[in-house]
Structure 1
Amino acid sequence: MKLNERSLAFYATCDAPVDNAGFLHKRGGRGAGSHRRWFVLRGNMLFYFESEASREPLGVILLEGCTVELVDAREEFAFAVHFAGGRSRPYVLAADSQEALEGWVKALSRASFHYLRLVVRELEQQLAAMREGSPANALPVHPSPVSNPRPKENGRAVWSALPEEPTAAPKRPPLPPRRRASAPNGPLVSFAQLHERYGLEVQALRSQWRGGQADLAGLEVWHPSSSGGTHTQDQP
């Protein structure tokens, strides 16, 4: 496959975030020793540079149809990138620590589009299963009606939002004493009879009031005079 070297160099050194980066020991051809290179993983492409400050990559490994395996090698924390069908020689790499080894093996195993297709297929199956078993497709369930549902905030009922529901019917105000006395079960009293009865009571109260006014009129009203200890009586 032919690749544009200028486009690859720009993609390898652009400011976009990388999937993984760090130093690895890369073994050369048969019988050759290993060299410490700076590796950068972007998508399904593994670039390697002479140093971290280099602006152009020395090469790139296209991670399609490959498998990542641990291998026994002279270097500690070594692993190899194998390609199916033997179309390319395996790349033997070695990390600086066990933690770095695990990080690189995990990142490289997930870098191919084949892995992404498997992940997407699995997620689609899970989504389809969730839709089939979702409550929206089930038979509607009608809950029993609840009078005056209380609003909730953060899952808790706001008790001050609505007035308290009365537990019983409100009591009527007590009847006046006079009406309660005439409340026994009997024939209803007409309006004319009530008017006559209360009219007599009003006349009696008015007569009492007039008698009291007459008694007050006979009292002597005293006013202090300028002479000091004597009083004069007002004449009617």
Structure 2
Amino acid sequence: MKINEKNLCAFAVSATPIDKEGYLNKRGELNKNFQRRYFILKGNLLFYFDKKGDKEPVGVIVLEGCTIELEEDQEQFCFKIVFHGANNRSYVLGAESQESMEQWMKALACAGYDYMKLMVLELQRQLDDMDETPLPVTQPVSSPVPPPRHRHNPFNKPESTTPHQRSHSLRSSNNSLRLDDKFSDGVPLSKISITFRELHNAYGRPILRDFNVWKNEQKLLSEKVAHASDNLISF
């Protein structure tokens, strides 16, 4: 339809957001030939111009009470805007490619008020469902606690011993000192104050004695080996 309203003309060329724009071939109402027009979609108003950059549109199509359908009787990439009812006109448009046709059909089908109303109702229904669905209660995640550390004193006497446990006593001899004999007397070692000198005498002397015994044995063994070697050479 032709328009003369100044407000629509001003809105068509204003800086308001454009949903989609581009060239389409439009079939005339009286002359059935296709003419190339530049289309601009703003909301539910589809403006068309003679060419891009014109200051005034040739016409406008109000996308209410209509459906977007394929036009099978015309050339490929054609679709139509069908207004239902008596004496209502249908607009046949042609795109340059299959992809362009699908994009235009989708944009025009979503531009009407009825479609927006359905979308709002669907979003409201989803919001109501979310309000009715209780949220799962999640337990707060606490940070892990490290296990307690137990420090062991090697000089503590265990309360009970087994055959597999090592004895705390030193090797016994006539001249050696037993640590259990000196510090036990039924009192736990952890309750007795032990000086370093006493520990040195209790443990160091038996170790030194055993070392001297081992050293003498090695010396005797070396002498026997040397004596045996001399006998072999003499023979």
Unpaired segments ≥5 residues, structure 2: 157-178, 188-192, 194-235
Q: Could you tell me which amino acid in structure 1 is paired with residue 103 of structure 2?
A: G
Spell out, residue by residue over 1:155-211, the C-alpha distance to the aligned partner (whole angstroms, 9 max, x if none).
Answer: xxxxxxxxx824542335746xxx98434425xxxxxxx9xxxxxxxxxxxxxxxxx
Instruction: Please name the residue that 1:95 is paired with.
Output: 95
* Structural mapping, 1:56-95, within 5 Å: 56-86=56-86, 88-95=88-95
How many residues in Structure 1 have an aligned counterpart in Structure 2? 169
Question: Shift in Å at residue 17 of structure 1?
Answer: 3.0
* Structural mapping, 1:61-210, within 5 Å: 61-86=61-86, 88-135=88-135, 140=137, 149-150=143-144, 165-166=146-147, 168-172=149-153, 174=155, 181-185=182-186
Following the alignment from structure 1 to structure 2, what is the Cα–Cα distance between the partners of residues 82 and 92? 9
Instruction: Please name the residue that 2:216 is paired with.
Output: none
Following the alignment from structure 1 to structure 2, what is the Cα–Cα distance between the partners of residues 129 and 20? 34
Following the alignment from structure 2 to structure 1, what is the Cα–Cα distance between the partners of residues 131 and 30? 55
Spell out, residue by residue over 1:96-126, the C-alpha distance to the aligned partner (whole angstroms, 9 max, x if none).
Answer: 1111111110000000011011111112212
The share of aligned pairs that are identical, in percent, is 40
Structure 1 residues 87 and 133: CA distance shift in structure 2, 3 A:
farther
Q: Could you tell me which amino acid in structure 1 is paired with residue 49 of structure 2?
A: F
Instruction: Please name the residue that 2:48 is paired with.
Output: 48
Structure 1 residues 4 and 113: CA distance shift in structure 2, 3 A:
farther
Structure 1 residues 142 and 86: CA distance shift in structure 2, 3 A:
same
Instruction: Please name the residue that 1:155 is paired with.
Output: none
Structure 1 residues 34 and 128: CA distance shift in structure 2, 3 A:
same
Following the alignment from structure 1 to structure 2, what is the Cα–Cα distance between the partners of residues 170 and 131? 56
Q: Could you tell me which amino acid in structure 2 is paired with residue 8 of structure 1?
A: L
Question: Shift in Å at residue 46 of structure 1?
Answer: 0.1
Q: Tell me whether 21-30 or 52-61 shows the greater mean CA deviation.
A: 21-30
Following the alignment from structure 1 to structure 2, what is the Cα–Cα distance between the partners of residues 48 and 184? 113
Structure 1 residues 122 and 28: CA distance shift in structure 2, 3 A:
same
TM-score norm. by structure 1 comes to: 0.60
Instruction: Please name the residue that 2:204 is paired with.
Output: none
Q: Could you tell me which amino acid in structure 1 is paired with residue 105 of structure 2?
A: V
Look up the SS of the partner of 1:81 in the other structure. strand
Q: CA RMSD in A?
A: 3.4
Look up the SS of the partner of 1:86 in the other structure. coil
Look up the SS of the partner of 2:85 in the other structure. helix
Structure 1 residues 11 and 172: CA distance shift in structure 2, 3 A:
farther
Q: Could you tell me which amino acid in structure 1 is paired with residue 17 of structure 2?
A: P
Spell out, residue by residue over 1:195-229, the C-alpha distance to the aligned partner (whole angstroms, 9 max, x if none).
Answer: xxxxxxxxxxxxxxxxxxxxxxxxxxxxxxxxxxx
Following the alignment from structure 1 to structure 2, what is the Cα–Cα distance between the partners of residues 78 and 134? 50
